[in-house]
Amino acid sequence: MTAHLPDGAALAFGSATASYQIEGATSADGRGPSIWDTFAARPGATRDGKDGSVACDSYHRYPEDVALLADLGVAYYRFSLAWPRIVPAGTGAVEPRGLGYYDRLVDTLLERGVTPTGTFYHWDLPQALEDRGGWLHRDTAYAFADYAMVAYDRLGDRVKVWATHNEPWCAAYLGYAAGVHAPGRREGGDAHRAAHHLNLGHGLAAQRLHEAGCRDVGIVHNLAPIWPEPGTPASAADGVDAVRNRVWLGPLVDGAYDDGVLRVAPVLADPELVRDGDLELVRGSADWLGVNYYTPVRPGPVVPTPQGEERHPETDAYPGVEPVTFHVREPRTHIGWEVEPAGLEELLVESHRRTGLPIMVTENGAAYADETVVDGVVRDADRIAYLDGHIAATERARAAGADVRAYIVWTLLDNFEWAEGYTKRFGIVHIDPATQDRTPKASYRWLQQRLRG
Ligand code: IFM
């Protein structure tokens, strides 16, 4: 039995952020460079040419952000820790000022009655580790577990619910195959090595966290319902499912990469990569599963055009899978993602069936183009409808027997949306980048009312 997760009697609510997306202060207090500092500095890497050096300046303004969470009335705040603040070179010396920041954040949350849940890795890998191969290199998994224990030793007396990784699919395949996220490498099938090392890093950290007495170790995946369009070859749909979902859940649940995974990722059969004991370490290593959901994935057949075969760049994020197209139906959010709450319901029911684990919806939310504050108000009715529909879908999944404990809104603040820079706003609180003024949007007020009952 797990001890500190929400008990599930009623759906618990929270809001989430991530270190590089909100903290700013990237050279303060001994923080080392991360792969996102390096990548965002490349011309063309982010849509607006911007980076996370200022972001929401939450490193300094966290008391304001905690006050926003407390006033909202959520029980949980899901935040991530910046590895390069705590172990600036990735391994070796620990930076006390970095740990001090999270100490203050956690204490402030607890004073205001908000329960903190920490994520050790939300993509800001220390650059020094990338210089030695990053997630393609096995040593990174061991360095990750060491860093996680440094953070846990300092905060584990107050933070009880932990996730190792956030969305390792993005870290492995957007980072090392498609090259659209840091470190911006296009290594094709070698990106599966990164996936294995992320799995291994989770397993190593989970083992040590459990030994240290942590009873609520989870991992957060952006699993997706795969809904093939008519005419999609079965092997292509299976390949997409393998790379998006099964490369993660197979080791976690069965201690194995299944045959369909090995078909698209033959490198995972290499005993030099997947060593004796690796998969056994990962099997059963999570006490809970975090599911991040935004939209379904609809692979479709490749259609010949006069210019040649239609090719979707997203295919690059599924190395080893035969060419497919990716389809997006209406309505869509500002980032172009289809709105389909039924996908969340299906995903939660299926994820619970597959893993048997308690689940938290660790992210769900929507980008809309609400740049302007008019008379102190941001009218984001689209976001309210999105959240309402997905909370209802979560409740339907619970009613169907899925053990879903919490729904955590992505995100508290408009922030650095990775390759999209600041052009896509997911926050329920508006940020004015010039002044850093925080203005709760109508969606924040709506959720506040709902939580006050
Ligand atoms: O902003 C991201 C977050 O960092 C990870 N999950 C998806 C969000 C929206 O793209």
Give 71-118 pLDDT, tens digit per residue: 999 999 999 999 999 999 999 999 999 999 999 999 999 999 999 999
223-226's contacts with Cβ under 8 Å and 24+ in sequence apart are 223/248, 223/249, 223/291, 223/292, 223/293, 223/347, 223/351, 224/293, 224/295, 224/296, 224/297, 224/343, 224/347, 225/296, 225/297, 225/343, 225/346, 225/347, 225/350, 226/296, 226/297, 226/298, 226/299
Q: Is the pLDDT of residue 176 over 70?
A: yes
Q: What's the 55 CA to ligand 1 centre distance in angstroms?
A: 15
Which tokens is 140 given?
């990174």
Q: Are strands 115-121 and 325-327 parallel, antiparallel or unpaired?
A: unpaired
Q: What's the 233 CA to ligand 1 centre distance in angstroms?
A: 30
Indicate which residue's Cα is closest to atom 4 of ligand 1: 18
Write down the pLDDT at residue 309.
63
Residue owning tokens 């039924």: 342
Residue owning tokens 């506040």: 448
Q: What is the DSSP string of 142-192?
A: HHHHHHHHHHHHHHTTT--EEEEEE-HHIIIIIHHTS-SSTT----GGGHH
Which atom number of ligand 1 is nearest to the Cα of residue 335? Answer: 10
Note the pLDDT tens digit of each residue in 365-389.
Answer: 999 998 899 999 999 999 999 999 9
Write down the pLDDT at residue 311.
61
Q: How many CB atoms lie within 10 A of CB 5?
A: 23
Which atom number of ligand 1 is nearest to the Cα of residue 415? Answer: 1
Mutation test residue for ligand 1: of 411, 414, 423, the one with most atoms within 8 Å of CB: 411
pTM: 0.98
Mutation test residue for ligand 1: of 410, 414, 424, 425, the one with most atoms within 8 Å of CB: 410
Q: How many CB atoms lie within 10 A of CB 60?
A: 14
Alpha-helical segments (H) within 294-380: 341-355
Mutation test residue for ligand 1: of 363, 423, 424, the one with most atoms within 8 Å of CB: 363
Domains and CATH numbers, the chain: 12-452 (3.20.20.80)
Indicate which residue's Cα is closest to atom 9 of ligand 1: 417
* Angle 240-242-245 from CA coordinates, rounded to 5°: 95
Indicate which residue's Cα is closest to atom 1 of ligand 1: 417
Q: What's the 434 CA to ligand 1 centre distance in angstroms?
A: 23
Q: What's the 19 CA to ligand 1 centre distance in angstroms?
A: 12
Give the chain's mean pLDDT.
97
**C-alpha–C-alpha distance, residues 84 and 98, integer Å:** 8
pLDDT, mean of residues 352-372: 96
Catalytic residue ranges: 167, 363
* Ligand 1: lining residues by beta carbon, under 6 Å: 18, 21, 167, 292, 363, 410, 417, 426
Helix, coil or strand: residue 75? coil
Q: How many CA atoms lie within 13 A of 284 on its CB side?
A: 2
Q: What is the percentage of the chain residues whose pLDDT exceeds 70?
A: 98
Q: What's the 426 CA to ligand 1 centre distance in angstroms?
A: 9
Instruction: Identify the bridge partners of residue 186 per DSSP, sorted by sequence position.
Output: none
Which atom number of ligand 1 is nearest to the Cα of residue 410? Answer: 8
Indicate which residue's Cα is closest to atom 10 of ligand 1: 417
Which atom number of ligand 1 is nearest to the Cα of residue 292? Answer: 6
Q: What's the 417 CA to ligand 1 centre distance in angstroms?
A: 7
Write down the pLDDT at residue 2.
41
**C-alpha–C-alpha distance, residues 74 and 68, integer Å:** 10
Note the pLDDT tens digit of each residue in 27-66.
Answer: 999 999 999 999 999 999 999 999 999 999 999 999 999 9
Q: What's the 415 CA to ligand 1 centre distance in angstroms?
A: 10
pLDDT, mean of residues 170-179: 98
Which atom number of ligand 1 is nearest to the Cα of residue 365? Answer: 9
Pick the range with the lowest mean pLDDT from 269-278, 305-314, 318-327, 415-424: 305-314
Which atom number of ligand 1 is nearest to the Cα of residue 122? Answer: 4
Note the pLDDT tens digit of each residue in 239-263.
Answer: 999 999 999 999 999 999 999 999 9
pLDDT, mean of residues 123-127: 99
Q: What's the 306 CA to ligand 1 centre distance in angstroms?
A: 36
Cβ atoms of 376 and 439 closer than 8 Å:
yes
Which atom number of ligand 1 is nearest to the Cα of residue 426? Answer: 9
Write down the pLDDT at residue 370.
83
Note the pLDDT tens digit of each residue in 207-251.
Answer: 999 999 999 999 999 999 999 999 999 999 999 999 999 999 999
Confidence of residue 203 (pLDDT cuts 50, 70, 90): very high
Cβ atoms of 164 and 121 closer than 8 Å:
yes
**C-alpha–C-alpha distance, residues 268 and 253, integer Å:** 17
Q: For residue 118, give the nearest of 130, 128, 109 by alpha carbon.
A: 109
Q: Is the pLDDT of residue 314 over 90?
A: no
What is the Cα 46 distance to its own chain's centre? 18
Instruction: Identify the bridge partners of residue 239 per DSSP, sorted by sequence position.
Output: none
Mutation test residue for ligand 1: of 364, 417, 424, 425, the one with most atoms within 8 Å of CB: 417
Q: Which residues are CB-contacts of 424 (< 8 A; sequence separation ≥ 6)?
A: 334, 335, 367, 417
